[in-house]
């Protein structure tokens, strides 16, 4: 499989180079040259297949022969070594729980798949040391830190916005040590992301370090997110209603992977991009004017993105045709007050505890179902409620049980380096 840069279709790359580089030399995101439909028998037999078999069939065409089938299956088996249940919440509404991995967030899948792929290429090609440089608005940092911890030949540098991630999220990315370094940035996530992109284009840094990105701009982080939707469909295959998935959306990698799965033949009828106050896509689908803006801080902080990187991939999937996009994608946005009220109301009514991101997904789904009553709707619960302990406990009026994996880090000492601008990042990377 070859990939092209969305900034220049003449620039192409194989899978390995796209994973190792992260971004194309022209700063464009890589996109597959061909999206191949899966055969009908795959969907007919999906309920008899295990997780590894399903995921292997879904992603093998994007990897090609660059990773052997046996090694790819091993990487996938390690990536998916936990559950992805669809839980009934109320009539015709289910929650796809993506928080049963090691850092209790959906980003465990992409981080583990990328770590396995990059580790394979390092051993195969003797690439030398690689620095994974990543910006996080919340859960990416912890997932990447855990996924790459102790991987030979890889150093990880994580940028995160000071005071804008939850305490548990911060502990997950600042307490591991070994090959993991956290840089606490005096600014918003968009600044962290811009600094990372700038570093990739800095020749002086490139001469010192071989950089790659573990944000969802990297194809090895983006593509495996399609696994969620195939695994959910396996559980819903006997459902006789149309299917709609509501995805809490920040950088739009997750929903873009779902839309890619749909393009490959997965029978999902509609997607909802559920936004918080950072609603650039909601506004775009309303007025046709795509206008990024500075991000604002919310209680659903992993979605605090004012210029979502992966939306350019969404547009490519729909050939940049606005009408085609609107037919298959809806978007709604909600503020913090609505988010808190929904956490409380759903808990009081059903006993189900949502985190702020899942609550945004639930709200978006409810808006869609008001006008589309013939659907079964699934919202993605992307993080365990414990990761937003203060917000959730205040909303539901009672304590949330803390999993053992969190108990193990909550009292550890945070270790981070504070920086305020690109020059300080560059100085660190050159040191």
Active site positions, annotated: 107
Is-contact 114 19, C-beta < 8 A? yes
Residues ≥6 apart with Cβ < 8 Å to 44: none
Distance in angstroms between the alpha carbons of the first and the last residue of the chain: 37
> Residue 393 burial by CB count (10 A; 0-12/13-18/19+): exposed, middle or buried?
middle
The tokens for 152 are 């030979």
- What string of H, E and C letters represents the secondary structure of the chain? CEEEECCEEEEEEEHHHHHHHCCCCCCCCEEECCCCCCCHHHHHCHHHCCHHHHHHHHHHHHHCCCCCHHHHHHHHHHHCCCCCCEEEEECCEEEEECCCCCCCECHHHHHHHHHHHHHHHHHHHCCCCEEEEEECCCHHHHHHHHHHCCCCCEEEEEEEECCCCCHHHHHHHHCCCCCEEEEEECCCHHHHHHHHHHHHCCHHHHHHCCEEECCCCCHHHHHHHHHHHHHHHHHHCCCCCEEEEEEECCCCHHHHHHHHHHHCCCCCCEEEEEECCCCHHHHHHHHCCCCCCCCCCCCCHHHCCCCCCCHHHHHHHCCCCHHHHHHHEEEEECCHHHHHHHHHHHHHHHCCCCCHHHHHHHHHHHHHHHHCCCEEEEEEECECHHHHHHHHHHHHCCCCCCCHHHHCCCCCCCCCEEECCHHHHHHHHHC
Q: How far apart are CA 341 and CA 353, in angstroms?
A: 12
Q: Which of 157, 217, 184, 205 is nearest to 29 (CA)?
A: 217
- Residue 279 DSSP SS3: coil
Pairing of strands 417-419, 375-381: unpaired
């Amino acid at each position: 499989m070859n990939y092209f840069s969305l900034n220049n279709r003449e620039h192409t790359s194989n899978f390995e180079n796209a994973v190792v580089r992260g971004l194309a030399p022209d700063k464009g995101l890589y996109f597959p040259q061909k999206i191949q439909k899966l055969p009908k028998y795959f969907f007919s037999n999906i309920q008899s297949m295990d997780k590894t078999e399903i995921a292997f069939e879904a992603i093998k065409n994007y990897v090609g022969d660059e990773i052997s089938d046996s090694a790819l299956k091993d990487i996938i088996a390690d990536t998916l070594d936990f559950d992805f249940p669809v839980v009934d919440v109320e009539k015709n509404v289910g929650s796809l729980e993506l928080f049963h991995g090691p850092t209790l967030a959906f980003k465990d899948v992409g981080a583990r798949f990328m770590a396995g792929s990059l580790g394979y290429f390092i051993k195969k090609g003797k690439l030398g040391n690689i620095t994974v440089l990543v910006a996080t608005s919340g859960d990416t940092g912890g997932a990447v830190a855990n996924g790459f911890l102790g991987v030979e030949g890889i150093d990880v540098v994580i940028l995160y916005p000071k005071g804008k991630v939850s305490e548990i999220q911060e502990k997950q990315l600042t307490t591991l040590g070994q090959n993991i370094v956290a840089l606490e940035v005096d600014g918003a996530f968009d600044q962290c992301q811009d600094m990372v992109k700038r570093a990739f284009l800095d020749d002086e840094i490139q001469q010192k370090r071989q950089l790659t990105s573990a944000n969802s701009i990297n194809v090895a982080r983006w593509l495996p997110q399609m696994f969620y939707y195939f695994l959910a469909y396996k559980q819903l295959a006997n459902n006789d209603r149309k299917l709609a998935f509501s995805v809490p959306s920040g950088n739009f990698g997750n929903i873009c992977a779902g839309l890619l799965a749909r393009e490959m033949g997965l029978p999902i009828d509609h997607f909802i991009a559920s936004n918080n106050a950072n609603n650039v896509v909601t506004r775009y689908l309303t007025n046709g004017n795509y206008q990024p803006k500075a991000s604002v801080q919310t209680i659903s902080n992993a979605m605090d993105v004012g210029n979502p990187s992966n939306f350019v991939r969404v547009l490519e999937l729909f050939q940049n045709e606005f009408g085609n996009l609107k037919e298959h994608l809806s978007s709604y946005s909600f503020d913090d007050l609505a988010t808190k009220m929904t956490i409380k109301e759903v808990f009081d009514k059903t006993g189900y505890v949502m985190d702020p991101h899942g609550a945004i997904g639930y709200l978006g789904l409810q808006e869609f179902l008001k006008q589309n009553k013939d659907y079964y709707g699934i919202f993605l619960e992307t993080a365990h409620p414990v990761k937003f302990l203060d917000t959730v406990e205040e909303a539901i009026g009672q304590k949330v049980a803390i999993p053992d994996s969190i108990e193990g880090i909550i009292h550890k000492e945070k270790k981070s380096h504070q920086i305020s601008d690109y020059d300080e990042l560059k100085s660190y990377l050159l040191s």
